[in-house]
Amino acid sequence: MKYLILIPDGMADYPVEELGNLTPMQKANKPMMDALASKSLVGKVSNVPEGMVPESDTANMAILSFDPKVYSKGRSPLEAVSMGIEMKPDETAYRCNVVTLTEEQERYEDRIIVDHSADEISTEEADQLIKTLEAELGNDMRKFYTGVSYRHCLIWKNSDDKYNFMRPHDILGKRIGEYLPRVEDGGSEFLELMKKSYDILKDHPVNLARKARGLKPANSAWLWSPGKKPQLPSFKQKWGLDAAVISAVDLIKGIGLCAEMQSIDVEGATGNVHTNYTGKANAAIEAFKAGKELVYVHVEGPDECGHRAEIENKVKSIELIDSKILAPVYEYLKNCGEPFKIMVLPDHPTPICKRTHTMDAVPFFIYSSEADKVGCDTFDEFTTEKMNYYVENGYTLMDILTQK
């Protein structure tokens, strides 16, 4: 048996007025998802336990069968693992976004956060900024590492791994003062670093060149999601399946590596709508040909479009995932001579109207080449709701997927 798990990150949404009060899933032309869902086990699942933050680390960990309440230590340590950083027990990893703040205000606290991704800055440009921050703010206790696009990592010795930071994508368009680390809560070092980063980055040559091209500057670091070195059980030992993960996002790669899955890089995979969809499909097919029994394909595009309120791009990303990833991998599996199952679901919703993640249950289907079921004609948030099949804990999905 071969298994494909396809995660269009953040695909679920709410009705959008500009789409005729349809969701992007309803609006998208996705014949492959709809065809498979019509013959599948279909329902809704909650991947994020009550009381936890609806982040991709929590949700994807659950889909891979690891109870987030037991194993979640924050997303940053997982990203650090993916980046090849060997964390020591006394070190804490922090996500270090390079963000866009307004510049006309005199006080840092009065600035407004415009974009958590600085117009999805290129990794090459961001690398120059992170190297500058390392030169100016790095020392024996802390070190900056370049990640992908706007997502980077800070490793800090003997630092607070429980500090409650605000997620930057939750406060877009808001004055940052009330969301910054608070001195009275022990956040003075974090606040000082973020303020200094603005002074260092606002006139950096990279940002001056970006503004000259009409792009948003990445003029401040924003710290969040701290955590210690993660520990996950071996996926292969738990399920007896040789597995691989394919993603452009360090977080997802890190989960896979911590679970001793193979992480497969795809040239041109970006983490946004403009990614190498065909490359991801080919990588999945080649992984199956090489003997992998389960391939976990994660696509970040719908999530980024939700954060950026890009309605047409969110619809487009769903259509491209359907036509360029799901359809060709399905065709391969159908002709490979072995039985197979396909599970498709977003990890969490990223509604365009909110520009952040929500706790809502997400639609899923599980297709089996060996047993057609009566599913729903279209795969979306509302047709799956009508199936009256609800999985309370996402970390039990693997049990359902692998049952005979």
Instruction: Give the pLDDT score at 275.
Output: 92
Residues 6+ apart with CB under 8 A from 50: 359
CB 300 within 8 Å of CB 318: no
Integer Cα distance of 72 and 232 in angstroms: 9
* 146-196 pLDDT per residue, tens: 999 999 999 999 999 989 999 999 999 999 999 999 999 999 999 999 999
> Phi, psi (5° rounding) for residue 97?
-70, 145
Q: What is the pLDDT of residues 91-141, one digit of tens each?
A: 999 999 999 999 999 999 999 999 999 999 999 999 999 999 999 999 999
Asked if residues 343 and 326 have their Cβ atoms less than 8 Å apart, the reply is no
pLDDT digits (tens, 9 = 90+) for 291-350: 999 999 999 999 999 999 999 999 999 999 999 999 999 999 999 999 999 999 999 999
Going 198 to 204 to 207 to 212, the CA torsion angle's sign is: positive
pLDDT of residue 48: 96
Q: Which residues have CB under 8 Å from 399's CB, separation 6+?
A: 65
Give which of 99, 68, 275, 324 is closest to 194, Cα–Cα. 99
Query: For residue 359, how far is the Cα from the chain centroid?
Result: 15
The pTM for the full model equals 0.80
How high is the pLDDT of residue 230?
A: 79
Report the chain's terminal Cα–Cα distance, integer Å: 10
Q: Confidence class of residue 204 from pLDDT cuts 50, 70 and 90?
A: very high
Q: Is 151 exposed, middle or buried (0-12, 13-18, 19+ CB in 10 A)?
A: buried
Share of the chain above pLDDT 90, in %: 90
Tokens representing residue 345 in the block: 């679901």
- Reported as type and span, the H/E element at residue 262 is strand 262-264
Sign of CA dihedral 31, 34, 38, 41: positive
The CATH architecture of the domain made up of 2-72+232-402 is 3-Layer(aba) Sandwich (3.40)
pLDDT of residue 206: 98
Annotated domain spans of the chain: 2-72+232-402, 91-227
Q: Which two tokens stand for residue 249?
A: 């996002």
β-bridge pairing 362-368 and 41-45 = antiparallel
Residue 72: pLDDT band (50, 70, 90) is: confident
Cα dist. 253→203, 256, 299, 320 in Å? 33, 5, 12, 22
pLDDT of residue 229: 82
What does the block give as tokens for 294?
Answer: 């389960």
* Residue 45, SS3 per DSSP: strand
